[in-house]
Amino acid sequence: MTVVFAFLCLLLLPVIAEDSTRGGTRRRNDFVVNVDAFGAVGDGVADDTQAFLGAWQQACSSPKSVFLVPEGQRYRVNATKFVGPCTDTIVIQIDGTVVAPDDPQSWDPRDQRAWLAFHNLSMAAFQGNGVIDGSGSKWWAASCKKNKTNPCRAAPTAFTIESSSSIRVKGLTIQNGQQINFAVSRSDSVRVTGLKVTSPEDSPNTDGIHISESTKVLLQNCKIGTGDDCISIVSASSSIRMKNIYCGPGHGISIGSIGKNNSTGRVEKGGSGFVRSVRYQRVTMENVSNPIIIDQFYCDSPTACQNQTSAVEISRIMFQDITGTSRTKEAIKFACSDTVPCTDIYLKDINLQGEDAKVETFCNSVSGSQLGFVQPSAECLSASNSSTTTIREGEEVWATENHLSTIISDEEPPGFTNS
């Protein structure tokens, strides 16, 4: 699925350090810690893991520090967790390339879920024009989604920010993730701008940006092309906003899979929980399969899913100002559960055309309304028999506690500044 927005890539110039000291330098009141000063080789072959950890310990324990990965080098780093809290604000300046070992057999089985993970940070900025390369090709080849004779096993997330707050990520390139490319987990107040995420179209499960159990996350001016969801949002996340996102190739901007283990927040068949207060706004589609879709029967499992009747409750969803072309006959699809129907689903100013044929809307167990011009028509949206809350034009729909709220538009979310 391809979702096209305007794209502007923002890059930060690297910090240049002067006045060398052991393991770092100072400039403009910042203490710059260069991984090279701790023995990093940067030839893409030597193991630079310990040098990175040594530099991190120095930077994290120093006030107003910069952890510097200099340009022009390739640093091979094994699975590593960079742990805070740090003494003060910290800048992680990545101008070189950080690469993962490419052979899954060489990985420690205790580190199968994450490659580079940053844990328990506050007031941290990740920036630069460098590359984080997960070297995922052998992981993809070993996936059961590429070859059903392969065993299904977990693969690492390339870059993770977890249990952190007040985080800024700007200008980096993340590519070839072993599985998910970039994850934000259990974090608050995260701003991601000018990020480029790439993996081949046929790479399995390589979500571009994956958000879980997080709140107040802003994604802006990012270009994402992967083999799975460009952006995925799952359990217990709220106040997520996206602005100027280019997605393609990929499976679009998805909420789910969710509903496993009664989680909240594409919806797993037989799951339970809820998704509420979501707005998709000002989106352009180019030859997209299923441009607008809610599917409570979605099943992403290597084995057949049981025909369970429970489903995630979905309500207060607005699709507004969406135009473009559909590759599939069903340009709009609302496949909702008879047991837990979708309610308060709104379409406003929609114009989706078929590439070669007419398109249509499919509805099952869904209520709501269409406003303004809607093509294809969604007259199958029935009026709800229950009490509904209309989403009015211009209304913000930020969620209360434990609600999952996602808004894709071009306005600033509450709680963020332009800094």
Residues carrying an active site annotation? 251
Name the 3-class secondary structure at 109. helix
Q: Which of 143, 151, 148, 150 is nearest to 180 (CA)?
A: 143
List, in order, residues 6 or more apart from 65 with CB less than 8 Å away.
24, 30, 31, 32, 33, 58, 59, 86, 87, 88, 90, 91
Helix (H) or strand (E) holding 224: strand 215-225
Q: What is the largest CA-CA distance in the chain?
A: 72
The amino acid sitting at 384 is S
DSSP one-letter string for 44-64: EEEE-HHHHHHHHHHHHTSTT
The amino acid sitting at 254 is S
The CA-atom distances, in angstroms, between 61 and each of 55, 67, 161, 343 are 10, 11, 19, 51
Q: Residue 363 phi/psi, 5° resolution?
A: -130, 140
List, in order, residues 6 or more apart from 112 with CB less than 8 Å away.
153, 154, 155, 156
